[in-house]
Amino acid sequence: MSIQIPRGTQDILPGEVEKWQFIEKKAKDICRRYLYKEIRTPIFEHTELFQRSVGDTTDIVQKEMYTFEDRGGRSLTLRPEGTAAVVRSYAENKMYGQAVQPVKLYYFGPMFRYERPQAGRFRQFVQFGVEAIGSDDPAIDAEVISLAMELYREVGLKKLRLVINSLGDSSSRKAHRDALVAHFQPRIGEFCSDCQQRLETNPLRILDCKRDRDHELMKSAPSILDYLNEESRHYFETVKKHLSDMNIEFVVDSTLVRGLDYYNHTAFEIMSEAEGFGAITTLCGGGRYNGLVQDVGGPDQPGIGFALSIERLLSALDAEGVALPHETTVDCYIIALGDSAMEYTVPLLQELRRAGLSAEKDYMGRKMKAQFKAAERVNAKYVLIIGEEELEKGTAVIKNLQTGEQENVSLDNIVEILNRG
């Protein structure tokens, strides 16, 4: 029986992987412009990190984490999201003491969640995310949102919807929590078992329930915006003003709560409005997480960030019919005719590659016509033809496959000629 790929994972093959490379390159260039530096954290962490940061009552911790016990009896978890690990690293490596503040970081990497695979959603998926830690200036909230929007814009997406909300500070959330309990408690028996549990542990997350989203009490639930104190209200208004000043369109949705417990103040999602994209439209989500650094053992430092799925981004590009540029070319394809010529091309190929040129030769013992076909398949700019007669003369025939022009050249000048293009 053949061994197949695990459910919820995918092989990214040549021809497709170039799209990923294009997005990664674009994201890294945007981060360079915004002065965000790359950070790389382990793929697995102590389970406690996610229990304390993501939240015991979240679906991620309760249902979706890949958790295992190592040979030392320690509970470890494949990371389900990137923020907790970055914040742990920030605290552990005392990055709050760096001269340049806030600390602005970005990451790429695989994440793991055990959930039902569907279009654009996998059990192993790749996230790009940014974190800005150390500042509670509303302008950094707007900057983080603008960075995400800029990435989508620069890869060619147009049908986007930015949704924002404020979850307020601790006192605002407490007042809202009490109002939610009073609202849902008389009829909580009509809701799913998860929501019944959330009423006691985190009633705000009832608003994020997918199963009971159409219940009439959802539509009439108290809005967090009605319970913001003056400080939280001013903070949110300032974030909105900054976004407007940057000509970034947004919609305020008071039901947006996000699925993780560490969020407060600003929360946002970017959604695709492309026809045929699917029922789940969220491309990116993020928000402010003041208090998270302290929760994982560091000092009390504010932070904000977002994460987006590369798979979801690629699905949105497909839905909008956006083709990414990923055509590759080979500088030179060497066609060797005869044993001596084939032997000569081995070190010549190495010389071309060391000179920074992309080069290839035939390894299948094909005839000259078939080698030309192979050169065309790899999109070679030039073909270098070396036979026994050319080798004796110290020359080769170079042919431009785009124009059809060809000429005899000295083998001593091959690198220089190819570099001239």
Binding positions for L-histidine are 81-83, 113, 127, 131, 258, 262-263
DSSP H or E segment with residue 33: helix 17-34
Q: Beta-strand (E) ranges in 93-188? A: 103-112, 124-133, 160-166
Q: Beta-strand (E) ranges in 8-120? A: 37-38, 44-46, 67-69, 75-78, 103-112
Dist CA 349 CA 419 (whole Å)? 14
Dist CA 289 CA 232 (whole Å)? 14
Dist CA 133 CA 140 (whole Å)? 10
Q: Smallest Cα–Cα separation from 273: which of 414, 163, 121, 115?
A: 163
Bridge partner list, 380: 330
Distances (CA, A) of 326 to 19, 31, 321: 6, 21, 15
Q: Which amino acid is at 15?
A: G
Task: Establish whether the linkage from the previous residue to 325 is cis, with ω within 30° of 0.
Answer: no
Whether residue 311 contacts residue 121, with contact meaning beta carbons closer than 8 Å, is answered with: yes
Bridge partner list, 397: 385, 408
Dist CA 30 CA 326 (whole Å)? 19
Bridge partner list, 227: none
Q: CA 251, 283, 258: angle at the middle one, nearest 5?
A: 65
Distances (CA, A) of 275 to 19, 122, 162, 312: 22, 22, 17, 14
Q: Which residues are annotated as a binding site?
A: 81-83, 113, 127, 131, 258, 262-263
